[in-house]
A and B are shown apart, each in its own frame.
Chain A
Amino acid sequence: MENPKSFFEINDLVVEYYADGEVVHAVNGVSLRLRPGQSLGLVGETGAGKTTIAKSVLRILPDRGARICSGGIKLNGTDLLSLSEHDMRKIRGNDIAMIFQDPMTALNPVQRVGDQIAEVVKIHSECSSLEAEEKAKEMLEMVGIPADRYKEYPHQFSGGMKQRVVIAIALACNPHLLLADEPTTALDVTIQAQVLDMIEDLKRKYNTAMIMITHDLGIVATVCDEVAIIYAGEIVEYGTKEEIFEHPSHPYTVGLFDAIPNMNEDEEWLHPIEGMPPDPTNLPAGCAFGPRCPRATAECREKKIGLNRTEDGHVCRCIHINKTAQGGEV
């Protein structure tokens, strides 16, 4: 996976938060790669560190209380972490854009919707206010909102429409990379489908690469090419969608798939993963998933586990891969 002239890569990113005198190990050595136009799904439960990774890319973590300790993030060869704030600003919204989770609060309540889109256009190009307005109207149409609603305010829109505005803002400057942080979590299922479709269309149109952060495997199946499973700030499994869906290897991944109720069979009970995610201020010495893992042995608790290759070629952070949950050979 070492592509010399990669489009986007994150190398060994470590991010810590500071709260109440304690250190929260949010991201513990995450690495990933993207090719232009490619979609990567970042899957994990709440608190796994997914949003932190996204915010680190844009460097919009809170000033106090968060720190990127080490690691590198490169876009087209440029190291984003070493850029000045001034240069970083040129990237935000322009080369890399982000869609946020909660559309209800993502927009400025006292600014007209159209102006919010026009703002991002004006910042990143030399155009006049009028031209920016035109572009903003175009974007509105593109996300399925009539352009004459330009002058309206966010509170006059429904949740789904607000999210479309957010998408319009994100895509207004044709970014190379789109970070979508659970964009449909807060929406109901029918709208969800619409929004996903729209994202897909636009993605194709502009050839935008995307990191889709989600906890919903169904969405991953729909829109992603590759998948990375995150647990306790680490990537525990990483491969193409087919590889992960057909051959889940990490016990956590297996657990995730098992937890999905089977529509075809008659089941009485759901199969959750036993236990709770570890306290990020006090991570276990060995494998982070160890305490909950049915396959765990003494070896697992001793030291950090590295990435191992599975049968079909994708990577997994487990020393007991190629074994089933029951401990037998695959």
Chain B
Amino acid sequence: MLRYTIKRLLWMIPIVLGVSLIVFTILYFMPGDPVTMIAGASATDTEREALRASLGLDKSYLGQLGTFLGDTFLHFDLGNSYITKLDVAAELIYRLPRTLLLTVMCTVLSLVIGVPIGITAATHQNGFVDHLVMFGALLGVSIPSFWLSLLLVLLFSVKLDWLPAMGIGSIRHYILPAIAGSLGGIAMQARQTRSSMLEIIRSDFITTARAKGVKENMVIYKHALRNALIPIVTLTGTQFGVMLGGTMILETIFGIPGVGTYIITNGIGGRDLPIIRGGAVFLAIAFSFCMLLVDLVYAAVDPRIKAQFVTRRAKK
């Protein structure tokens, strides 16, 4: 298992390199000149050229690529924001805990609410509960988080005054964004769990378990669920990875300075290339880790997969 993990970690290097290369190239050819944006309307040509040189934007494609790759991978320096001159890596680290907290809360909510709902729907297939859950799930994936966030704020902050509308002062500030952000996740987990469970429940070994006299509860949770976990784990891992960089809407509405707003509003909106690049590298690494964790969880959950990961050794 250890060798498998190390192998995967080593694989991350070409992946992150690849992502960096692609992002860099896209940014290079993207219209919208950062120098013009920063220098402003009233800058002179000489001034713009000086700025361009100081930012290293006067070099050729390969020159800039070389500098970027060298800085990032040899010195672990993601550069400084063109506009605020703050260190990109430091800013990402500063903002990460907030995004992480939000992401973790949403993921936990998705699992804790979504999976049981899915199980209930599966065990009551075609009953009223099942239809209710499926409809609820449809709503959940269809409702835009933007709209829902504002609605939640209107209800819980303005009318009821139970929760703060925005900011990052305490955990309470993260409750509304977590609810708004997890609705889609709950819906997806519920649907996924339901379909996984339905498939598993029809399996022969479930009949065996019942024939042994196992309590129905145990049949569902111990025997069925454990087998149905694989797709659920996949979904959780993907959701988590995507949310790490994709919480921009929630962060903007709820005033949480996190990674999402940083990369999209500051980076892309301001054509602040180091932020975009640094953000892409960061997300590539984070997502790779998520996927590695997912695979490790697979191995822990399903011994057949673990066997696949460790095949080499047995063949002597």
Contacts and interface: CB of A to CB of B under 8 A. Distances in A.
Q: CB atoms of A and B under 8 A apart anywhere in the complex?
A: yes
Interface of A: 55, 58, 60, 64, 85, 89-94, 97-98, 100, 102, 105-111, 119-120, 123-124, 153, 155-156, 166, 169
A113 to B, nearest CB: 11
Nearest to A169: B212
Given A93-B213, A155-B304, A108 B207 contact: no
A109 B205 contact: yes
Interface in B202-219: 203-205, 207-216
Given A100-B204, A105-B205, A108-B223, A93 B211 contact: yes
B303 A89 contact: no
Given A90-B213, A110-B226, A64 B208 contact: no
B302 A110 contact: yes
Contacts, number: 76
A105 B226 contact: no
The majority secondary structure among interface residues of chain B is helix
A102 B204 contact: yes
Contacts of A91: 213
30 contacts: A55-B207, A60-B211, A64-B126, A89-B215, A92-B213, A93-B211, A93-B214, A94-B213, A97-B212, A100-B204, A100-B211, A102-B204, A105-B203, A106-B204, A106-B205, A106-B207, A106-B208, A107-B205, A108-B205, A108-B209, A108-B223, A109-B304, A110-B227, A110-B303, A110-B304, A111-B223, A124-B213, A153-B304, A156-B307, A169-B212
A102 B208 CA distance: 11
Given A64-B126, A108-B227, A109-B227, A92 B208 contact: no
A120 B227 CA distance: 19
Nearest to A58: B211
B178 to A, nearest CB: 31
Nearest to A172: B212
Contacts of B209: 108
B303 A166 contact: no
Interface in B116-144: 125-126
A90 B213 CA distance: 6
B65 interface: no
A109 B302 CA distance: 8
B303 A100 contact: no
A58 B223 CA distance: 19
B301 interface: yes
Interface in B164-209: 203-205, 207-209
A91 to B, nearest CB: 7
Nearest to B127: A64
A92 B301 contact: no
Contacts of A111: 223, 226
**8 nearest CB pairs, A to B:** A92-B213, A93-B213, A93-B212, A105-B204, A120-B212, A153-B303, A98-B211, A108-B205
Interface in B93-123: none
Given A98-B211, A111-B226, A166-B208, 12 more contacts: A60-B207, A85-B216, A92-B211, A92-B213, A97-B212, A100-B211, A102-B204, A109-B205, A109-B302, A123-B212, A155-B303, A169-B212
Interface string B207-246: 1111111111000000100110000000000000000000
Contacts of A123: 212-214
Contact of B213 (A55, A89, A105, A153): A89
Contacts of A120: 212-213
Nearest to B210: A60
Contacts of A156: 307
B265 to A, nearest CB: 45
B272 to A, nearest CB: 48
Contacts of A60: 207, 210-211
A330 B125 CA distance: 56
B179 to A, nearest CB: 33
A110 B203 CA distance: 13
Contacts of B216: 85
Given A89-B215, A90-B213, A120-B213, A107 B208 contact: yes
A92 B227 contact: no
Contacts of A166: 208
B204 to A, nearest CB: 4
A117 to B, nearest CB: 10
Contacts of A153: 303-304, 307
Contacts of B223: 108, 111
Contacts of B207: 55, 60, 100, 106
A98 B204 CA distance: 12
With most chain A CB atoms within 10 A of its CB, the pick from B209, B210, B212, B215 is B212
Contacts of B307: 153, 155-156
Contacts of B215: 89
A89 B303 CA distance: 29
Nearest to B304: A155
A107 B227 CA distance: 12
B226 to A, nearest CB: 5
Contacts of B302: 109-110
Contacts of B203: 105
Nearest to B226: A110
A17 to B, nearest CB: 14
Interface in B274-306: 301-304
Nearest to A59: B210
Contacts of A98: 211
With most chain B CB atoms within 10 A of its CB, the pick from A85, A90, A91, A92 is A92
A61 to B, nearest CB: 10
A298 B96 CA distance: 86
A94 B207 CA distance: 15
